[in-house]
Amino acid sequence: MVEHGPRLTLIRQLADGQFHSGQALGELLGMSRAAIAKHIQVLQQWGLDIYRVQGKGYCLSQPLDLLDESQLKQLAPSLPAILVKPVIDSTNQYLLDRVGELSSGAVCLAEYQVAGRGRRGRQWISPFGSNLYCSMYWRLDAGMAAAMGLSLVVGVALAEWCEAFGGDGVKVKWPNDLYYQDQKLAGILVEMTGQAGEAAHLVIGMGINLAMPAQAAEGVTQPWTNLQQACGVLPARNELVADLLNRLQQTLLQYEAQGLAGFVERWNRLDNFLNRPVKLLIGPNEVRGIARGINHQGALMLETETGIHPYLGGEISLRSDA
Ligand code: BTN
């Protein structure tokens, strides 16, 4: 287990966006300037944009607004547990490893994920402090069959949350991405354990680009954007997160009580591809048509030459066919 304490102390010092000399940082941490320089290199690998000016020291290109567990607990008191891990492999994995000990609504957040993951085995690039990496555990008594609908309602909750902070034009993309101006803003990864016929244990992972530095996104393979782009000035990060967690909990409770029924209209209003030409990638096959929203099972309704047909299943990807 690597000890990150000195690096996290360095980050807290640099978070103000001011210059800090190597000597002052060395004195604070009881180490040489050379040792500080090595730690700074690691922080740069974590995606922090730290630069050095001769005679002035180290500085972050932008101040950091760090997550604060006690503040989050105050702002979201109805959640059973909120854990902030500055550095983690994956917030989803953390909760999956502890499913037996958690209550519905337990949350894990990180500033940096070493092995953040996306759907289809892809990596989720997770630079330190600039985005949100958040997972919530939920026990779904209705079982695995209800999980597909759940991931759609999470998309609705996220898009409505963006709108609440001025993000007009933030949209959902079936089954579970957020888009702004046809670029990806956030991704949702729902992972589950459980037996058929029993309650499903879900971990809902959300990766939301807030202010992703361009250099950190070099490995991102599709067009992407930031919430800052969609909303302009954002409120303090802890307020933003607490509002998201509160909304998500309310949304999941509502889904448990009513199923998808209350969400179809909300989804269709927010649907990025409603009435637009799309293609569905289903294994090696492609089906082209016009997207006509979702039905009460959460299936994508696709209009082809033969009529409007429902498409459902985790193996289907949707692409624009403009
Ligand atoms: C996608 O492929 O679009 C889904 C991305 C989900 C990323 C989030 S970040 C928090 C949580 N932890 C992970 O390892 N992945 C999810």
How far is it, in rounded angstroms, from Cα 86 to Cα 97?
18
Per the model's pLDDT, the better-predicted residue between 4 and 21 turns out to be 21
119 annotated as a binding-site residue: yes
Ligand-binding site membership of 90 (annotated): yes
Band the pLDDT of 148: cuts 50, 70, 90.
confident
The answer on 184 and 120 residing in a single domain is: yes
Are 107 and 239 members of one domain? yes
Q: Are residues 201 and 308 in the same domain?
A: no
pTM above 0.85, yes or no: yes
User: Angle 124-129-130 (CA atoms, 0-180°, nearest 5)?
Assistant: 70
pLDDT at 66: 97
The residue to which tokens 């996306």 are assigned: 118
Structural domains of the chain, count: 3
Shared-domain flag, residues 40 and 157: no
The question of whether 319 is a catalytic residue gets the answer yes
In this predicted structure, the answer to whether residue 20 has a pLDDT above a threshold of 80 is yes
Which atom of ligand 1 is closest in space to residue 117's alpha carbon? 14
114's CB contacts (< 8 A; 6+ apart) are 87, 88, 89, 90, 126
Whether 202 shows a pLDDT value over 70: the answer reads: yes
Q: Residue 229 sits in which domain range?
A: 69-268
The pLDDT value given to residue 61: 92
- Using 50, 70 and 90 to split pLDDT, how confident is the model at 15? very high
Share of residues in the chain with pLDDT > 90 (%):
86
Same domain, 91 and 214: yes
Whole-number pLDDT of residue 279: 97
Q: Is residue 309 part of a domain?
A: yes
- Determine whether the annotation assigns residue 117 to a binding site: yes
Residues ≥6 apart with Cβ < 8 Å to 91? 85, 108, 109, 110, 113, 116, 133, 134, 135, 205
Please state the rounded mean pLDDT for residues 45-66: 95
Instruction: Looking at the structure, tell me whether residues 183 and 294 fall in a common domain.
Output: no
Asked if residue 321 is part of any domain, the answer here is no
User: What pLDDT does residue 197 have?
Assistant: 84
Give the model's pLDDT for residue 145.
Answer: 83
Q: Which of 41, 60, 79 is the last residue of a domain?
A: 60
Q: What CATH number does the domain containing 43 carry?
A: 1.10.10.10
Residue 194 has a pLDDT of: 84
169-174: long-range pairs with CB below 8 Å, 24+: 169/230, 170/227, 170/230, 170/270, 171/270, 171/271, 171/272, 172/267, 172/270, 172/271, 172/272, 173/271, 173/272, 173/273, 173/318, 174/271, 174/273, 174/291, 174/294, 174/300, 174/318
188 with 165: CB under 8 angstroms? no
CATH code for the domain in which residue 74 is found: 3.30.930.10
Query: Ligand 1 test: best mutation among 133, 185, 315, most atoms within 8 Å of CB?
Result: 133
Is 113 one of the annotated binding-site residues?
A: yes
* 264, 277: one domain: no
- Going by pLDDT thresholds of 50, 70 and 90, the confidence category of residue 144 is confident
Six token digits for residue 43: 């922080």
pLDDT at 1 over 60: no
Whether residue 322 is contained in a domain is answered as no
- Asked whether residue 86 falls in the same domain as residue 40, the answer is no
Together in a domain, 38 and 85: no
For residue 269, indicate whether it is catalytic: no
Average pLDDT, stretch 258-280? Answer: 95
| pLDDT greater than 80 at residue 318 | yes
The single residue of 33, 73, 98, 184 carrying the catalytic annotation is 184
Alpha carbon distance 90, 112 (integer Å)? 9
Q: Is the pLDDT of residue 258 over 60?
A: yes
Average pLDDT, the chain: 94
Q: What number of CA atoms fall less than 13 Å from residue 231's CA on the CB side?
A: 20
Q: Is residue 234 in a domain?
A: yes
**What pLDDT does residue 313 have?**
84
pLDDT for 142 equals: 87
Whether residue 129 is found in the same domain as residue 202: yes
Ligand 1 pocket, residues with Cβ under 6 angstroms: 90-92, 113, 116-119, 122, 124, 133-135, 177, 187-189, 205-207
Instruction: Say if residue 139 is in the same domain as residue 22.
Output: no
Nearest residue (CA) to ligand 1, atom 15: 117
User: pLDDT digits over 209-234, tens only?
Assistant: 999 888 888 888 889 999 999 999 89
Task: Give residue 2's pLDDT band: very low, low, confident or very high (50, 70, 90).
Answer: low
Reported as a single tens digit per residue, the pLDDT across 66-97 is 999 999 999 999 999 999 999 999 999 999 99
Q: What is the pLDDT of residue 218?
A: 83
The last residue of a domain, from among 234, 249, 268: 268
Determine the pLDDT at residue 16: 97
56 shares its domain with 179 = no
Q: Is the pLDDT of residue 38 over 90?
A: yes
Residue 108 located in a structural domain: yes
Q: Domain containing 298 — which CATH number? A: 2.30.30.100
Q: Specify if 107 maps to a domain.
A: yes
Quick check: is 15 in a domain? yes
